[in-house]
Chains A and B, each alone.
Chain A
Amino acid sequence: MKGQGLKAYVILYLVFLYAPILLLPMFAFNSGTVIAFPLQSFTTSWFVEIFTTKALIEATRNSVFIAVSVAILSTCFGLFAARAATRYNFPAKGGIVGFVMLPLVLPEIIVAVSLLVVLIQAGLSTGIWSVIAGHVLICTPFSIAILQGSFANMDKSLEEAAIDLGETPLSTFRLITLPLVAPGIIASLLICFTISLDEFIIAFFLSGNEPTLPVYIWGLLRFPARVPVIMALGTLLVALSIILLITAEYFRRRGLRRAGKRDVGGFL
């Protein structure tokens, strides 16, 4: 009965993983203000409250602006770094790439505190821009990891062939490289957007008086009556994250298909 034990393990694991998330929509549509069973009547008023709370809308706008900027900036940096790392050899390449990838494993709180120290020392104010800087720092390695895969999947001689056929390096990038790594670029944009959107620690330290959504939600926890609103908000965020991840995966797979490559990894 070895198979039975493994089956139970898988089921328990999945319950542990997703049960808490399933609680979110349950209480988001529950009219009771206390987060406890038994459930009371069905309501959508918590969702209505999301869209009528001015501070919440403000925080959402900050978060979306930050996430979009971070996605674009990180992906640009990731594109440069991934191309350099896969196409060229230069002195200390391994070390340089390693250092760029380091924030992937660096504790965010360290990054956040050190950035805060630097900002204060430099006499700069905290706010949206400092959060963007912090998020770019942690998102760029993700972008590089994704795009390195895209570049590695792409035959180097494709670029040479285009140049050989009379294109300049720049038009080759536009006509050949960009279309072929486009799925990677889209995946990178979506993942950086998602990471930035729900990042808390850096935003908490660096957002100043322009809170992002996670920082605002954390603030709400001090008011028990508002907890159902957080549940409703959480429900929306989970839905959004799932949609984004599925989209990213779709583009990654389409890219592989177009390049005629076999699928050997990915998120889903």
Chain B
Amino acid sequence: MTKPEPIIRLEDVHKYYGDYHALRGITAEIGQGEFFSLLGPSGCGKTTLLRAIAGFEDISSGAIMLGGKNMEGVAPNHRPTNMVFQSYAIFPHLNVEQNVAFGLRKSGLSAGDKTRAVGQALEMVGLGGYGGRAAHALSGGQRQRVALARALILKPKVLLLDEPLSALDKKMREVMQVELIKLQREVGITFILVTHDQEEALVMSDRIAVMFEGEIAQLDDPERLYRRPVSRRVGEFIGMMNFLDGTLQASGGLSVDVAGLGRADIDEGQIAGAARAGAVSVGLRPETLSILFEDDPKSARSAEGEVAEVVYYGDMTYYDLRLDGAARNVRVSMRNVVGRPVLEVGARARVSWDPRALTVFS
């Protein structure tokens, strides 16, 4: 995969609010046409970073390069970025058409061209024919679309989205996720999404920067992020992860002895960060473990335990197992299959596991 030329370059960006160090040396490149997400818990600095790119926050040191130009001292109205606000910020005294056309005031387009552009923009977000609607007569999803049309009509180099889906209900959120991806492919504009929802980030992004306490903990594509988190904290934040006690041995090839599961050889790439030989924490996603039923072929690697908890989700069942010889429960997720019973609490179960799926943390 060739790396596209970066449209945004963040160079050691720091931000202080008085004594509070909100951004601690953010360095990243965001490519042309990329769908990039800033993911993290609230207070991690992701929104501050987005607002700094938009120009609403001054940075204390470092540089934000946009299309090769340093944005220092450039006001938000002169930056080639547009923003979709968390509240959508639809102007309540203007109708849909006037809202979308707002940014064209200084474009020098003729009235006819403006009307056409507004019509196209509304069409693009699936709101054709809604131009005359009053702002307060719109549903949450429609407001979101108006905000998108209003920002995209200016053909910004970068579209900034501040938790754009957090105000929508679950069903609508899923619909808009797919629509946003389609829209982004269609217009080819770089999207930077701020979200605290890891699932949303995984679904939508080309790359994700996971942020904790003003720092980027990991910057990767969704698959690598999920499969190979660089720290326990990232692993915990993205999806669900079991952490089992283990012992790492480096003499005569790498191997790890996992409490309750057994010993396995691993390779270099499975060791995250600074894990060294000795006591380690072994991360395993619930879906990489699997409970063996009577009719399953016997697996080479299996362990036994007792079912401590059963959580039934309809399509899936989560089992918490107390493996023999392990101090902690391990969670296993199983797809529910017709004709296969859901185990009950207290039942004995055999689990198979694949050492390739584990990640070793210090």
Residues of B within 8 A of A165 (CB): 77, 82, 102-103, 150-151, 154
Q: Is A117 on the interface with B (CB-CB < 8 A)?
A: no
A28 nearest CB across to chain B (Å): 43
A39 nearest CB across to chain B (Å): 52
B52 nearest CB across to chain A (Å): 13
Q: Is A157 on the interface with B (CB-CB < 8 A)?
A: yes
Q: Is A166 on the interface with B (CB-CB < 8 A)?
A: yes
A244→B86 CA distance, assembly (Å): 39
B91 touching A166, Cβ below 8 Å: no
A243 nearest CB across to chain B (Å): 26
Q: Is A163 on the interface with B (CB-CB < 8 A)?
A: yes
B93 touching A155, Cβ below 8 Å: no
Residues of B within 8 A of A168 (CB): 77
B56 touching A176, Cβ below 8 Å: no
Residues of B within 8 A of A160 (CB): 56, 76, 83, 85, 89
A155→B151 CA distance, assembly (Å): 18
- Closest B residue by C-beta to A167: B77
A180 touching B77, Cβ below 8 Å: no
A162-178 residues with Cβ-Cβ distance < 8 A to B are 162-168, 176
B213 nearest CB across to chain A (Å): 23
- Closest B residue by C-beta to A259: B92
A-B pairs with CB below 8 Å: how many?
60
What per-residue 1/0 map shows which CB atoms of B98-139 lie under 8 Å from chain A? 000011011000000000000000000000000000011000
Q: Is B317 on the interface with A (CB-CB < 8 A)?
A: no
Q: Is B290 on the interface with A (CB-CB < 8 A)?
A: no
* A interface majority secondary structure: helix
B345 nearest CB across to chain A (Å): 48
A155 touching B87, Cβ below 8 Å: yes
B53-91 residues with Cβ-Cβ distance < 8 A to A are 54, 56, 75-77, 81-83, 85-87, 89, 91
- Closest A residue by C-beta to B86: A157
Q: Is A224 on the interface with B (CB-CB < 8 A)?
A: no
- Closest B residue by C-beta to A182: B93
A102 nearest CB across to chain B (Å): 29
- Closest A residue by C-beta to B160: A164
- Closest B residue by C-beta to A155: B87
Residues of A within 8 A of B105 (CB): 166-167
What per-residue 1/0 map shows which CB atoms of B314-350 lie under 8 Å from chain A? 0000000000000000000000000000000000000
A80 nearest CB across to chain B (Å): 22
A157→B154 CA distance, assembly (Å): 18
What per-residue 1/0 map shows which CB atoms of A45-62 lie under 8 Å from chain B? 000000000000000000
B47 nearest CB across to chain A (Å): 12
What per-residue 1/0 map shows which CB atoms of B271-289 lie under 8 Å from chain A? 0000000000000000000
B87 touching A164, Cβ below 8 Å: no
**Number of chain A residues close to chain B: CB under 8 A:** 18
Q: Which of A158, A163, A164 contacts B91 (CB 8 A)?
A: A158
Known contacts A157-B85, A160-B56, A165-B150; decide if A180 and B76 are in contact (CB<8 Å).
no
What per-residue 1/0 map shows which CB atoms of A232-261 lie under 8 Å from chain B? 000000000000000000000000001110
Q: Is A119 on the interface with B (CB-CB < 8 A)?
A: no
B103 touching A166, Cβ below 8 Å: yes
A144→B154 CA distance, assembly (Å): 37
A163→B75 CA distance, assembly (Å): 9
B176 nearest CB across to chain A (Å): 19
B93 touching A258, Cβ below 8 Å: yes
Q: Which of A155, A164, A260 has the most CB of B within 10 A?
A: A164
- Closest B residue by C-beta to A154: B92
A119-176 residues with Cβ-Cβ distance < 8 A to B are 155, 157-158, 160-168, 176
B239 nearest CB across to chain A (Å): 31
Q: Is A208 on the interface with B (CB-CB < 8 A)?
A: no
A179 touching B93, Cβ below 8 Å: yes
Residues of A within 8 A of B83 (CB): 160-161, 164
A164 touching B77, Cβ below 8 Å: yes
A167→B154 CA distance, assembly (Å): 13
Residues of A within 8 A of B92 (CB): 158, 180, 258-260
A176→B154 CA distance, assembly (Å): 19
Residues of B within 8 A of A166 (CB): 77, 103, 105-106, 154
B65 nearest CB across to chain A (Å): 19
A168→B77 CA distance, assembly (Å): 7
B107 nearest CB across to chain A (Å): 8
Residues of B within 8 A of A259 (CB): 92, 136
- The 13 listed contacts between A and B (C-beta, < 8 Å) are A158-B89, A158-B91, A160-B85, A161-B89, A161-B150, A162-B91, A163-B76, A163-B77, A164-B81, A166-B154, A176-B91, A259-B92, A260-B135
| Known A164-B81, A167-B105; 10 more pairs at CB < 8 Å | A155-B87, A155-B89, A158-B91, A161-B83, A162-B102, A166-B105, A167-B77, A167-B106, A168-B77, A259-B92
The 3 closest A-B pairs by CB, nearest first: A165-B103, A260-B136, A161-B89
